[in-house]
Amino acid sequence: MRPPAAARPLLSALLLAAPAAAALAGEPTGLLVELPPDLKSVPPGTRVDPVQVVGRDDTGARVGLGERRVVLEATAGAVESVEQPYHFAWTAPEDAGERVSVVLRAHLADAPDVRGETRIDVAPRAVARLVLRTPQPGVPFDGSIEIAVLVDTGAGEPTPLVARELAFDLDGPGRVEFVRLGTWRYRAPTAADAAGAKRVVVHAHASDDPALRGRLVLRLGGAEEGAEQKPADTDTSGGAKPSDADAGGAGEDDTLQPGDAAARSGDADDPRAKHVVWPGGRLRLTAWRVRAGETGDWTRGRTDLPKAGGAFVAPEPQQRVRAVVEMDDVRAVRVRATLRTAGGEAAPADAAVLETKRNRAGRFALVLVVRPPADGTTLVVALAYDVAGDAHVDGDTLEFRCRARR
């Protein structure tokens, strides 16, 4: 159902540009269709006001249209004439299942050859999800641990969820209790009642919107009385880190701790302790390796991951990144690579290979192998996620460069 106009996002400009009638006099040979400054894309259902149409002459100068009538059409969405011939509004379509480019075309009613156009993208809304976080990844038998519940819209850091009623389900023993707005508590069973269970998966969803959901994996018996309790990394999974052992693939088991993963892979300096959550919280990078050629060995020591959103720069011509997609409803992951020169030009590139599989926790584990050129250009790799309901999330971008040794 189409939401009421008051509920739709509104983009408005405080001032329209000066009327074209006040511009240089002359006969228009074309039209300029102008959107608010710096507006390149909008979510579905957004109303864009103003869309301004002005005349231009052969020199490109703005000229008046007088009393002539302008026809504005769009390849998608709805156009509204606010004040002829200069002021229009456009509302993006509601049913954009994936990113689409919409063309707004204008022409003079009495001279169709006098025309102009502009483009704007309609990007799907980010899929919101719940993020469950705990101060440590394990809980002792007959103990308890607080769970902070946040919401992640992909537009920034997750924020506390304080205005929604939640329902919880457990895969494993124990129970969840309400503490205060935004905080719940998991109470673990005794060792006898656990009946050999070593972990529990906590599922949460909004009572009024089951699609808004998240989950947390907790290790039972993981913080013994008197033992040092290390906080869990504050990433979007809120729980223990998976393995990215070189032999077994990235993200095999969400219950493994960094030290456990290091022991499995044979890396004594424990690269798993340096996981990086990419901006938006959808992707957690677990390891970065490089090698000199197609048949050389991948580095086994620690190659520190860049900071969140940073570039991968290495002297070797091949790089490999392992990661886990921190979204439960992903059905497929797509990759697109482009080469960007220092001047900003971009061109498609066949320089990235993506392998995916489900880890034991049911999430997508990724292995991305890239070959950035050694000429100083940047290889830009964009990941997109197909999620439940045939929706698409244009998610994460990684940049790679090969820097020659000096």
Q: Is residue 225 part of a domain?
A: no
Residue 392 shares a structural domain with residue 287: yes
pLDDT tens for each residue of 17-66: 444 333 344 789 999 999 988 788 888 888 898 999 999 998 888 998 98
* 95 vs 151 pLDDT, higher one: 151
pTM of the complete model: 0.37
Contacts with 171 (C-beta within 8 Å, 6 or more apart), sequence order: 200, 201, 203
Least Cα distance to 231 among 136, 133, 138 occurs for 136
Residue 91 shares a structural domain with residue 169: no
* pLDDT > 90 in the chain, percent: 19
State the residue range of the domain holding 94.
Answer: 5-122
Q: Is residue 243 part of a domain?
A: no
Region of 389 (left: φ > 0; alpha: ψ -120 to 50; beta: rest) is left
Residue 111 shares a structural domain with residue 135: no
Contacts with 188 (C-beta within 8 Å, 6 or more apart), sequence order: 139, 140, 141, 142, 143, 144, 145, 173, 174, 194, 200, 218, 220
What is the pLDDT confidence band of residue 401, given thresholds at 50, 70 and 90? confident
DSSP assignments along 64-107, one per residue:
--TT--EEEEESSSEEEEEETTTEEEEE--S---S-EEEEEEEE
* Stretch among 214-223, 298-307, 375-384 having the lowest mean pLDDT: 298-307
pLDDT tens for each residue of 252-308: 333 222 222 332 333 333 333 468 888 877 888 988 888 877 767 777 655 688 888
Residue 31 shares a structural domain with residue 102: yes
Q: Is residue 378 part of a domain?
A: yes
Q: Is 43 helix (H, G, I), strand (E, B) or coil?
A: coil
**How high is the pLDDT of residue 258?**
28
What is the pLDDT confidence band of residue 105, given thresholds at 50, 70 and 90? very high
Instruction: State how many domains the chain has.
Output: 3
Pair type for strands 312-314 and 391-402 = parallel
Q: How many residues does the chain have?
A: 406
Look up residue 326 and give its DSSP letter: -
Residue 10 shares a structural domain with residue 100: yes
Q: Is residue 227 part of a domain?
A: no
Residue 185 shares a structural domain with residue 273: no
**How high is the pLDDT of residue 31?**
95
Give CA–CA dist 147/133, Å, rounded.
6
**How high is the pLDDT of residue 371?**
87
**Listed residues 82, 103, 122: the one ending a domain:** 122
Residue 36 shares a structural domain with residue 166: no
Residue 83 scores a pLDDT above 80 = yes
Q: Is residue 161 part of a domain?
A: yes
Residue 94 shares a structural domain with residue 163: no
CATH of the domain at 386: 2.60.40
Residue 392 scores a pLDDT above 90 = no
Residue 127: CB atoms within 10 Å: 22
DSSP assignments along 104-147, one per residue:
EEEEETTEEEEEEEEEEEE-PPP--EEEEE-SSSEE-TT-EEEE
CATH of the domain at 133: 2.60.40.10
Least Cα distance to 109 among 68, 62, 79 occurs for 68
**Listed residues 54, 89, 122: the one ending a domain:** 122
**How high is the pLDDT of residue 386?**
81
Q: Is residue 100 part of a domain?
A: yes
Pair type for strands 283-291 and 346-348 = unpaired
